[in-house]
Structure 1
């Protein structure tokens, strides 16, 4: 007897079983799954292939926002995933003892059993690690390169914002030596508004920080009025909520003044509730204060010593979108982020010119 006569029937039998299992699984996810009533992309309801494909293209944040526009504020973005787009959900999820970091963070563990502040799930272990990080945070501030790049990109193409910020900084300080942490720097309100606007429009982490119900929950988990079944992944996409026009009017327009008193208080309160550049709750970024200080010092020192403008020609367009693009990157004046957990980016390319009056004032 030829061995192929034995293997062929067995292979066919196994193939039929796998196909049957696949059909039953997909049918369950569409017809019987606890999340079946939630809208969302059809492929995402069947498989995580939907998210995986766009994650590989570094554009999942763009697709998440687009899907919210199509399907609503609460969407099924995976067989066992619910994606929210409201401030209430933001705080219900990330400031809640009944949820823990999703198991998906385990893929970032490089050494078994060794966790970083980013990957640790247990709350007590996270608190202990955060305490250690807090003790050395003065030597290791949160990376601000993305927000600063975005800020310089938008200032270079927003003459009125550039002029207002430059005037504030150059009027607030008599010499560059005064530019340091303290009341004068903290009093530069437009500077802080520019930094907040850059963090909103180009958040350092533009994707979704997935969470799941804690295994020891004795009470039902309710997120923005929705009961969350055990085993469900839940999250808010930061890029999507930061570009939701319900909370941020003209969301793709760089408008630092939206954060100042010239904007009605009720609108500012709505924006603050939806703002999550550093996350919220006990897992919020431990380096938030240092990030603001570092960004403020860099921008203030730069505008004290220099004027800058976009590089000429095509080089000056680096960092923006491409008109006619159909992948969510068609806005030439939008600083483009590439979602690889943090927001990778290109550009901008700028030309800096030394300010003669600043050097003269330093010598006096």
Structure 2
């Protein structure tokens, strides 16, 4: 039966388990293409993404007013069966594109015609997608002037087939929008590869504001190195940290004075260290890392992902601030103690 909808501007489908529901939304999207401004499909069932672009009679569909497209769910096209739609111009005005799972096309269908309008990109880039983007020169230094947020996934997933090193992978992701003022890079790197990826000799990453490495348990010194290397960094997502090896001849009690004398002020922009997989028995190390970093980052706040952790964390924080090592620095640490929690959001998918 043919659908006869009224004028529809937004389509939303969240976590429907019925495949027919997903098919119905795709059909409704095609029929309402001339008026739609946003499409948001979050499904555990296969999404016929190609069906948004090509109608049942093989004619191409265009969404002239669509500015937000979010498709979070599996596509029924395998890597070997991703369709090419070289004659289509389906999304000419997109501002925000968010695609979960694998990229569904064999060409640049999603990016065609919207280089001047695209502001936010969230895309899982596997080897096939990266090869396509590079082959078709989808991203060049001045191609996407409004792109402000780039969120990509899993650096290790493209090694070694596409890039020889993690540093090369990082450089490609950063080259997607070299003029962007906000960069959110998700990835999985070992400590050695992280240091390599951020070596000053491998490029300028000074524009990064948000860095997400959720499976990496950085030490305090790793964090200091990253923050010093990234002057605009405001948010860091990692696994719970540790203090790591102490500098030669420095005791734990001497660390606060050592931090201030050695690093002075490394960043006024850094504000949140988001802790992923925070659940640990003893928060002492984590609290010490936060307090020591707060001494050299005056606007630093903190966050944990689970609200249930707040009470024991705050108890440990108050106890540490009252200790001899930190008592004299209370004015510098009050922001961390009283304002940090509310100032940060937990990590989102």
* Class of the TM-score when normalised by the shorter of the 2 chains: under 0.3
Greater relative contact order (CA < 8 Å, ≥ 6 in sequence): 1
**TM-score scaled to structure 2, two decimals?**
0.26
Structure number with the higher helix fraction is 1
**TM-score scaled to structure 1, two decimals?**
0.26
